[in-house]
Each structure stands twice: as structure tokens, then as C-alpha cells.
Structure 1
């Protein structure tokens, strides 16, 4: 998950300094991970943002925001993006009981 190492380093530093994790930080981390997942899969498939966005019926800037962790997509939008890339996304909601 490249691209957000600065965020991770900042968060780790804040937690080391004794700052408690804020719900907003946790949500931002989830948004970044989702964006990384979409971007990595798109790149693996050799697709551009413009191609995926057109196939999914969204704008390229909207896809760029999502990949950058700046947007919270609906499940319907994620489904359209997955279909545009002929792939599936598995998303776990809640804590992983195995962890």
C-alpha cells in the first residue's frame, strides 16, 4: 500500500506520544486503505483512471479522490468500479474475529 506512508508515520508518531486514536483518524485510515486497494488492483490490470471511470459511469476526478482516500463511495459505486475492472472486492465490516 504505497502512497500514504506520510499518514502512517504521522499517526504512529501521534500514538507514540500518547495521543489517543480519534475516530476521525481511524476513518481516514480506512478510507486510505480502500483507495489503495482500488488503485493497486487498477494498476495490476494495466488500466488508467480514465478507462475505469468511464466504464463505471463516474468521473475520473471522482475515482482519483477515492483512490487518494478522499471519498467515501457507496456500495453501488464500489460495485460499478469492480465490474469496470472485471474483478471483485471483498470488504470486511467490523473487527476480524481471527485477529
Structure 2
């Protein structure tokens, strides 16, 4: 059974490597990073999701999705979120080195 266990380990590692290079997984990682940054700033300011959502004129579930990486806000929505938290978001657009 040692061979089978090693095969499973190698297969899992191979899948991780493939996933790490797949554009959709890369995008999902970026979406999660953005959501984490928004959540961190909101918590740092001591605001609830409901407060920020009301101030930004979006629903609380929409903000929850953004913070969880499941929804990507438009630039206009990012602007409203920044204003709601009285903060500034700096967006850097860069060409992917792999492209």
C-alpha cells in the first residue's frame, strides 16, 4: 500500500501545481485578496457590514460576498465602499508577468 499512498501524494501535488497556474484560480486568489483587504479595513475602523453597506448603498449580503471573494465590485462600487469607510483605495493595474 505504500505505492498507492505515494501516488496519491504525487497526484495531489500535481493538481495543486496545475491549479496554481490556471487563470481562473489566479483570479479567484486575487478576488479573495481584495475581499480580505476590504474586510480588514472595515474591522480596523470598527464598522459592521450592515453599517458599511448602508453607507455605500448596497445590500449587506452583497458586501459579504465581496469580502468573501465571491463577488467582484465595480470601480464605482469600490468608490462607494471607500467613501462609506472614509478611506482611499489605491488600485494598481499591472501586466501579469506570465502574459
Same fold (TM over 0.5): yes
Unmatched 5+ stretches in structure 1: 1-9
Q: TM-score, normalised by structure 2?
A: 0.78
More helix by share: 2
Shift of 1:77: 0.1
Name segments (4+ residues, structure 1) moved above 2 Å. none
Aligned residues: 84
CA RMSD of aligned residues (A): 2.2
Counterpart of 2:21 in 1: which secondary structure?
Answer: coil
TM-score, normalised relative to structure 1: 0.78
Which residues of structure 2 form unaligned runs of 5+? 1-11
Counterpart for residue 68 of structure 1: 68
Structure 1 residue aligned with 2:4: none
Q: Whole-Å Cα distance in 1 between the matches of residues 30 and 52 of structure 2?
A: 22
Bigger Cα Rg? 2
